[in-house]
Copies of this chain bind each other. A is one copy, B any other.
Amino acid sequence: MSRVIALSGGIGGAKLALGLAQVLPAEELIVVANTGDDFEHLGLSISPDIDTLTYTLAGLDNQALGWGRRDESWACMDALAALGGETWFRLGDRDLALHLERTQALRSGETLTAVTQRIAARLGVLATLLPMSNDPVRTRIRTPEGWLDFQHWFVREQCRPAVCEVAFQGVNEARANPALLAALRAKPRAIIICPSNPLISVEPILAVPGIREAIIGCGAPVIAVSPIIGGQAVKGPTARMLADLGTAPSAAAVALRYGALLTHYVMEHGDDATGISAAVSRAPTLMRTLEDKVALARAVLSLA
């Protein structure tokens, strides 16, 4: 058995992960989640990218909101608002159950990997979902007003402060997920970098000591899908962050950030590929429907 290992952040990445899960036998797909977005809030351990992947792969994602669980209710947040509590990070009643269960599990000594897989399995996810590390890594954003925790910048401040620098606190001490390293040693068929934000979704994974080296060393093709179409991100602050950091946002700019790691780059028809050293493929990368996701997954896998 030769496995496909997909590196993913939240929304955009999860769409391709769902496409891959439709196309590949479950035992052949490993989805690696960024945990740099994780944070502690209201005493709960929250892992937004793991949760988006879990809900998406389980068919429980809230497509109307673009985050959280479907068929959600907000009684707890409403009651918390009445108590004067912090409600800038909206936690639905059903979603809360996941955070309670994970927080409890982590506190009782279970690894993030174990509780992630246990919850995913309970919700019917068949593919293997792996956090990049069991150790805490926390993305922080330096703004003109100082450093902010990622979710404070992203959700509480709604990305208003300019981005001067991105850092992954704790990443040097974090140990790569042993299950990921084992999978990389077992001659995977391909590494797929999903169309997630390179700065805050993919680079935290690559920054965990040993992961980048293991990807290069495994010999499999490394295929990234552009998260930028026509100079704009489909969703989220990717283009804006690149611009803040001095790079004109483009599909090519993302490929250049990944550099020699890539063997293949999948981008939208018509986008400029100047300067990309990887083999460029063209495909429709905007994933609106399940058919779009499956088609893009097939296009990506055809390169492997």
Distance to closest chain B CB from A94 (angstroms)? 4
Complex Cα distance A241/B284, Å?
71
Q: Is A62's beta carbon under 8 Å from chain B?
A: no
Q: Is A166's beta carbon under 8 Å from chain B?
A: no
Given contacts A43-B44, A44-B43, A122-B84, contact A79 B103 (CB under 8 A): no
Given contacts A44-B43, A104-B42, A104-B43, contact A94 B122 (CB under 8 A): no
Q: Which of A70-78, A131-139, A196-204, A205-213 contacts B (4 or more CB under 8 A)?
A: A70-78
Cβ contact of A80, chosen from B86, B92, B101, B107, cutoff 8 A: B101
Distance to closest chain B CB from A205 (angstroms)? 26
Q: Do the beta carbons of A122 and B73 come within 8 Å of each other?
A: no
Residue interface mask A95-136, B partner, CB < 8 A = 1: 111101101100100000000001100110000000000000
Q: Is A83's beta carbon under 8 Å from chain B?
A: yes
Complex Cα distance A138/B293, Å?
54
Q: Do the beta carbons of B98 and A79 come within 8 Å of each other?
A: yes
Complex Cα distance A275/B94, Å?
55
Q: Do the beta carbons of B103 and A77 come within 8 Å of each other?
A: no
